[in-house]
Amino acid sequence: MTISGWPEDFRAGFVAVVGRPNAGKSTLTNALVGEKIAIMSDRPETTRRAIRGVVHREEGQLVLVDTPGLHRPRTLLGKRLNEMVHESLDDVDAVLVCLPADERIGPGDRFVTELALAARAPVIAAVTKTDRVRPGELLEKLQAVSELADFAEIVPVAALRGVQVQDLVDILLAQMPLSPPLYPRDQTTDESDETRIAELIREAALEGVRDELPHSIAVTIDEFQERQTKSGDLLAIYASVVVERDSQKGIVIGRKGERLKTVGTRARREIEGLLGRRVFLDLHVKVLQDWQKDPKQLGRLGF
């Protein structure tokens, strides 16, 4: 043992989790960490920031950097998300490329893989969503992945079911350098509560909206307010769901406000689970015209 109490062979380092949109990156990151730190949706471009999740083991620590899906950008926001992925590949100790088992390898997968290999760090392929295909189809996919590049390892996983998730942790830890822990043992992410709350609201707002709308939704936290009630303390959260056009505002609110009410109910449950306390959530919808293309608005929204 070292003087600090950590084993001399303790390993710790950074792993960039990359892939094209909807490849299962956030779902796998959450499964590896053992806690929901990144929101999940079947809508592309759900992840909009490099989210760090920390995996703790007795013998080591992984700092996973869940990145936005690489795509052909149509807006300034899309361009900035792609830049974020490139920056996340700087100085990492390994790269984890997510390739969904239920889809053929395409140009986007090849582009992401080439980018990962250029990072000059060990590249592991995670074949995700294996529970969506039959055994024969999985074998074909694994063969195709092996022909895609000379990966350090290829690991088939089903994140939601926990299949081979711990095996993947072992493989990633083996690639990490000898190092003391990089984060305290009780820390699973460096995301602030405010950021995580805003993301949980956005996740709820993404459910059931039209295909073109997810890219236009952002969320800001306007105010936190502590309240005393007869049944105990309550945290009041006032937040805005931001869209780009008046027509989108109507979609988010829904008929007689029913859809926004559903979003609020779903988000409140998640927020209470995160904070471990009662929450009152007040949501409003506001329009910022074409905010994805406006540098000033992007700055105000944290991009």
Sheet holding 218-229, edge to edge: 218-229, 232-243, 279-287
For residue range 73-91, what is the model confidence (pLDDT) as tens digits?
A: 555 555 665 666 667 677 8
Q: Which residue has the tokens 């009152």?
A: 280
The model carries a pTM of 0.82
3-state secondary structure at position 198:
helix
| Rounded Cα–Cα distance for residues 135 and 283 (Å) | 45
For residue range 127-166, what is the model confidence (pLDDT) as tens digits?
A: 999 999 999 999 999 999 999 999 999 999 999 999 999 9
| Rounded Cα–Cα distance for residues 13 and 54 (Å) | 10
| Residue of 230 and 168 predicted with greater confidence | 168
Cβ atoms of residues 131 and 158 within 8 Å:
yes
| Rounded Cα–Cα distance for residues 161 and 147 (Å) | 27
Beta strands in the chain (DSSP E): 11-18, 51-57, 60-66, 94-100, 123-128, 153-156, 218-229, 232-243, 279-287
What's the mean pLDDT when you consider all of the chain?
87
**CATH class, range 193-300:** alpha beta
Please state the domain extents for the chain. 11-174, 193-300
11-174 and 193-300, same CATH topology:
no
Q: What is the number of residues in the chain?
A: 303
For residue range 224-264, what is the model confidence (pLDDT) as tens digits?
A: 999 988 888 999 999 999 999 898 999 899 999 999 999 99
**CATH class, range 11-174:** alpha beta
Q: Sort 28 into a burial class: Cβ within 10 Å, 0-12 / 13-18 / 19+.
A: buried
Poorest-pLDDT segment among 33-47, 95-109, 165-179: 33-47
